[in-house]
Amino acid sequence: MMKEILSIKDSAQEEINNTDNLDAVQNIRIKYLGKKGILTNKIKALSAIAKEERREFGRILNETKDYIENLLIRKEALFKAAELDNVLKTQRIDVTVPGCFTPFGHLHPTTKVLDEIIEIFLSMGFRIEEGPEVELDYYNFEALNFPKDHPARDMQDTFYITDDVVLRTHTSSVQIRIMEKHNPPLKVIAPGKVYRCDADVSHTPMFQQLEGFMVDKSISMSDLKGILEVFAHAVFGPKTPVRFRPSFFPFTEPSAEVDIGCVICSGKGCSVCKNTGWIEILGAGMINPRVFEKVGYDPDLYTGFAFGMGIERITMLKYGIDDIRLFFENDKRFLEQF
């Protein structure tokens, strides 16, 4: 009996030593210590042994069982550690590997400049309004003192939808819509898309404008000059010269075109400013009393100014871009520069 136990112990030990994986260890456990395992059967067989010897063999069998169990546990621990080691080695996060590149878009240059311009006027107390792009002739022309067949309509190459409906050629139409609905005091900017049948290096059939106007008692030309100077200095730099040049718009009287000192040659004269040293940035003027009459304001009580600028034009001047079509071509080499 003793011999048998020793040989069981030896063979178990040898098998355990020779295992090379966790499953094999588990199988050895079943083979020796399982319900019908070799050692378990020996323990079961104890009852058949003479009483005097039973105790001693029982002790030895239990010790052997513990011994084998211990070997199994140690071997298991070895394999588990090796497995963990392997996982740590193969699944390690290498923080030095360059990350995956996720292309990330950004705002279009005209959107950036428009946002910047809006911010400037909001800071001076203007509020934002919008109007429709498909507009009645009445709001785009008639109420702005462009009577039908007036030659001034030629200034704007209009897309007609019907005789009475156009794609708005400027955001000045929003002036009328707002003044019809609200009484002064008003201090409004109206950004939006406008359309003209025109296409070359400085014109596209669709472009963006920002209209601004202010109406109250005793608003004067000096308010207009002050506000536009703040605007020009904020966008083009505080030392930029600004001048008002007489002009004509049917809905303003007097009217002006506002120039800044050429941003390319600083006023010395170049091809961009056509050697004048000045570049036009927007149209403006004091709102014509005829417009006030159309919206039911008393022209003797109220005065106001209005101005309108092209966002693409301001963006081109700010960044020295010489072809407006670049804004619409979606060439990443161009867009990525902003």
Which residues sit at the interface with ligand PHE, rule CB under 6 A? Answer: 170, 172, 211, 249, 252, 283-285, 306-308
Nearer to ligand PHE, 34 or 254 (CB): 254
Taking the complex as a whole, the smallest distance from the CB of residue 270 to ligand PHE amounts, in Å, to 25
Look-up of token digits 């060439």: 331
Nearer to ligand PHE, 129 or 211 (CB): 211
Taking the complex as a whole, the smallest distance from the CB of residue 308 to ligand PHE amounts, in Å, to 3
Nearer to ligand PHE, 249 or 278 (CB): 249
Taking the complex as a whole, the smallest distance from the CB of residue 283 to ligand PHE amounts, in Å, to 3
Taking the complex as a whole, the smallest distance from the CB of residue 267 to ligand PHE amounts, in Å, to 24
Task: Characterise 334 by phi-psi region: left (phi > 0), alpha (psi -120 to 50), beta (else).
Answer: alpha
153, amino acid identity: R
Taking the complex as a whole, the smallest distance from the CB of residue 171 to ligand PHE amounts, in Å, to 7
The rounded distance, in Å, linking the Cα atoms of 207 and 328 is: 10
Strands (E), 67-169: 127-128, 134-136, 165-167
Residue nearest to ligand PHE (CB): 308
Residue 321 DSSP class:
-
DSSP string, 15-77: HHHH--SHHHHHHHHHHHHSTT-HHHHHHHGGGGS-HHHHHHHHHHHHHHHHHHHHHHHHHHH
Nearer to ligand PHE, 240 or 252 (CB): 252
Taking the complex as a whole, the smallest distance from the CB of residue 263 to ligand PHE amounts, in Å, to 21
For residue 100, the SS3 value is coil
- Cβ neighbours of 234 (radius 10 Å): 17
Question: Nearest Cα to 31, choosing from 40, 22, 44, 19?
Answer: 40
Taking the complex as a whole, the smallest distance from the CB of residue 296 to ligand PHE amounts, in Å, to 20
DSSP string, 140-174: HTGGGT--TT-GGGGGS---BSSSSEEE-SSTHHH
Nearer to ligand PHE, 19 or 171 (CB): 171
Nearer to ligand PHE, 32 or 307 (CB): 307
Nearer to ligand PHE, 248 or 334 (CB): 248
Q: Phi first, then psi: what are they for 324, rounded to 5°? A: -65, -25
Nearer to ligand PHE, 65 or 196 (CB): 196
Question: Nearest Cα to 183, choosing from 305, 295, 287?
Answer: 295
Taking the complex as a whole, the smallest distance from the CB of residue 332 to ligand PHE amounts, in Å, to 31
Task: Characterise 135 by phi-psi region: left (phi > 0), alpha (psi -120 to 50), beta (else).
Answer: beta
Residue 327 DSSP class:
G
